[in-house]
Amino acid sequence: MSQDAAYTPYHPRWHRTRVSTWWWLGRGSYFLFILRELSSLAVAWFVAGLLLLIRAVSAGPAAYQQFLASARLPAVLGLNAIALAFVVLHAITWFNLAPQAMVVHVAGRRVPGWCIAASNYAALVVATAVIYGLLTLTW
């Protein structure tokens, strides 16, 4: 196979069995893989929502109240619930894969995978607690 995969109109044809566009529906693990990959759309939705919130807060109390009111619309609530499920799936699959992606050595010995996963989950708990406290607790 050529290294350069750029498309040309007269691309050489290799013998390949055709794979259906819906190949990922065939097996549970493939389906979960596609769900995990699709979680990136929920991440983009989260960023868009966060930026809209910041814009509303900068614009003043009335705009902020309007933002809160639009979050109560059933369609927005439904999309946010779906997005939340996807970002939780992203967080779980991401942290569970972290031991494979990060190889840490301490004093010449490899840190076991469960330690790396556990420290990632600990960071998630701390991050959640800090954001929750900054936004909801009275000080």
Partner 1 sequence: MPGRRPIEPLLWLLFSTGGVMSALFAPVLLFLFGIAFPLGWLTPPDHARLLLVFGHPLARLFILVVCSLSLFHWAHRFRYTLYDGLQIKHLNEAINAICYGGAVLGTLAAAYLAWTIP
User: Which CB sits closer to partner 1, 72 or 109?
Assistant: 72
How many CA atoms are closer than 13 Å to the CA of 94, on its beta-carbon side? 15
Determine the Cα–Cα distance for residues 42 and 82; give it in Å rounded to an integer.
8
Contact mark string toward partner 1, 26..55, x via CB under 8 A: --------x--xxxxxxxx-xx-xxx-xxx
**Secondary structure (3-state) at 110:** strand
Determine the Cα–Cα distance for residues 21 and 137; give it in Å rounded to an integer.
49
Q: Quick one: which of 12, 16, 21, 105 contacts partner 1 (CB under 8 A)?
A: 21
Determine the Cα–Cα distance for residues 19 and 5; give it in Å rounded to an integer.
18
**Least spacing, CB of residue 108 vs partner 1, in Å:** 26
If one asks whether residue 80 binds partner 1 (CB under 8 A), the answer comes out as yes
Work out the angle between the directed axes of helices 74-101 and 113-136 (0-180°, nearest 10): 150
Q: Quick one: which of 1, 5, 106, 107 contacts partner 1 (CB under 8 A)?
A: 5
Contact mark string toward partner 1, 81..120, x via CB under 8 A: x-xx--xx-xx--xx-----x-------------------
Q: Quick one: which of 58, 106, 108, 114 contacts partner 1 (CB under 8 A)?
A: 58
**Secondary structure (3-state) at 133:** helix
